[in-house]
Amino acid sequence: MTSDKDARLKKLRFRAWRRGFREADLILGPFADRHVPDFSEAELDWFERLLEVPDQDLYAWIVGRAEPPAEFSGPIMDRIKAFRLEAHASRGDDHGG
Protein backbone atom coordinates (compact mmCIF):
# COMPACT_ATOMS: atom_id res chain seq x y z
CA MET A 1 0.00 0.00 0.00
CA THR A 2 1.38 3.42 -0.89
CA SER A 3 1.85 6.17 1.62
CA ASP A 4 -0.74 8.26 -0.29
CA LYS A 5 -3.32 5.50 0.08
CA ASP A 6 -2.34 5.00 3.73
CA ALA A 7 -2.91 8.70 4.38
CA ARG A 8 -6.25 8.63 2.57
CA LEU A 9 -7.41 5.60 4.56
CA LYS A 10 -6.35 7.20 7.82
CA LYS A 11 -8.24 10.40 6.94
CA LEU A 12 -11.40 8.51 5.95
CA ARG A 13 -11.35 6.43 9.11
CA PHE A 14 -10.83 9.55 11.22
CA ARG A 15 -13.75 11.31 9.52
CA ALA A 16 -15.97 8.24 9.94
CA TRP A 17 -15.30 8.20 13.69
CA ARG A 18 -15.64 11.95 14.26
CA ARG A 19 -18.66 13.21 12.39
CA GLY A 20 -20.02 14.99 15.46
CA PHE A 21 -23.17 12.85 15.57
CA ARG A 22 -22.46 10.06 18.04
CA GLU A 23 -24.96 7.56 16.66
CA ALA A 24 -23.43 7.84 13.19
CA ASP A 25 -19.90 7.71 14.63
CA LEU A 26 -20.65 4.40 16.33
CA ILE A 27 -21.73 2.84 13.05
CA LEU A 28 -19.43 4.46 10.50
CA GLY A 29 -16.27 4.36 12.62
CA PRO A 30 -16.19 0.61 13.21
CA PHE A 31 -17.42 0.00 9.64
CA ALA A 32 -14.54 2.08 8.28
CA ASP A 33 -12.02 0.32 10.53
CA ARG A 34 -13.15 -3.06 9.28
CA HIS A 35 -13.93 -2.45 5.59
CA VAL A 36 -12.31 0.70 4.21
CA PRO A 37 -8.78 -0.79 3.99
CA ASP A 38 -10.13 -3.33 1.47
CA PHE A 39 -12.02 -0.79 -0.67
CA SER A 40 -11.11 -0.17 -4.30
CA GLU A 41 -10.32 3.38 -5.40
CA ALA A 42 -13.90 3.77 -6.70
CA GLU A 43 -15.31 2.56 -3.37
CA LEU A 44 -13.06 4.96 -1.49
CA ASP A 45 -14.33 7.80 -3.70
CA TRP A 46 -17.92 6.78 -2.94
CA PHE A 47 -17.27 6.56 0.81
CA GLU A 48 -15.58 9.96 0.75
CA ARG A 49 -18.68 11.48 -0.90
CA LEU A 50 -20.89 9.71 1.64
CA LEU A 51 -19.02 11.35 4.49
CA GLU A 52 -19.97 14.75 3.04
CA VAL A 53 -23.68 14.03 3.55
CA PRO A 54 -25.30 15.83 6.51
CA ASP A 55 -25.41 13.63 9.61
CA GLN A 56 -29.16 13.51 10.01
CA ASP A 57 -29.72 12.44 6.39
CA LEU A 58 -27.00 9.82 6.48
CA TYR A 59 -28.18 8.35 9.77
CA ALA A 60 -31.78 8.20 8.51
CA TRP A 61 -30.62 6.22 5.47
CA ILE A 62 -28.57 3.81 7.57
CA VAL A 63 -31.36 3.06 10.04
CA GLY A 64 -34.04 2.88 7.35
CA ARG A 65 -36.01 5.98 8.28
CA ALA A 66 -35.47 7.33 4.75
CA GLU A 67 -34.32 5.94 1.43
CA PRO A 68 -30.96 7.17 0.19
CA PRO A 69 -30.87 8.85 -3.21
CA ALA A 70 -29.74 6.68 -6.12
CA GLU A 71 -26.15 7.92 -5.92
CA PHE A 72 -25.88 6.49 -2.40
CA SER A 73 -27.94 3.34 -2.86
CA GLY A 74 -26.19 0.10 -3.63
CA PRO A 75 -23.82 -2.49 -2.28
CA ILE A 76 -21.77 -0.35 0.10
CA MET A 77 -24.83 1.26 1.67
CA ASP A 78 -26.29 -2.24 2.02
CA ARG A 79 -23.09 -3.33 3.75
CA ILE A 80 -23.25 -0.36 6.14
CA LYS A 81 -26.87 -1.19 7.01
CA ALA A 82 -26.02 -4.86 7.55
CA PHE A 83 -22.99 -3.89 9.64
CA ARG A 84 -25.21 -1.76 11.87
CA LEU A 85 -27.60 -4.65 12.44
CA GLU A 86 -24.73 -7.06 13.17
CA ALA A 87 -23.19 -4.59 15.62
CA HIS A 88 -26.49 -4.17 17.46
CA ALA A 89 -27.02 -7.95 17.57
CA SER A 90 -23.53 -8.59 18.94
CA ARG A 91 -24.10 -6.00 21.68
CA GLY A 92 -27.52 -7.36 22.49
CA ASP A 93 -29.03 -4.01 21.53
CA ASP A 94 -32.58 -4.55 20.37
CA HIS A 95 -33.48 -0.87 20.00
CA GLY A 96 -32.70 -0.87 16.30
CA GLY A 97 -31.62 2.72 16.04
In a domain, 23, yes or no: yes
- Residue 97 falls inside a structural domain: no
Give the domain range for residue 31.
Answer: 3-91
In a domain, 18, yes or no: yes
Name the residue among 97, 20, 30, 19 with its Cα closest to residue 65.
Answer: 97
Is the residue at 65 inside a domain? Answer: yes
Task: Give the torsion sign (CA, 89, 91, 96, 97).
Answer: negative
CATH number of the domain where residue 60 is located: 1.10.150.250
Residue-wise pLDDT for 81-92, tens only, equals 999 998 767 665
Number of domains in the chain: 1
Residue 96 resides in a domain: no
Evaluate whether residue 11 is within a structural domain.
Answer: yes
- Which tens digits make up the pLDDT trace of 45-88? 999 999 999 999 999 999 999 999 999 999 999 999 999 998 76
**Ranges of H-type helices in 1-97:** 3-17, 22-35, 41-50, 55-63, 75-91
Judged by phi (left if over 0) then psi (alpha if -120 to 50, else beta), residue 92 lies in left
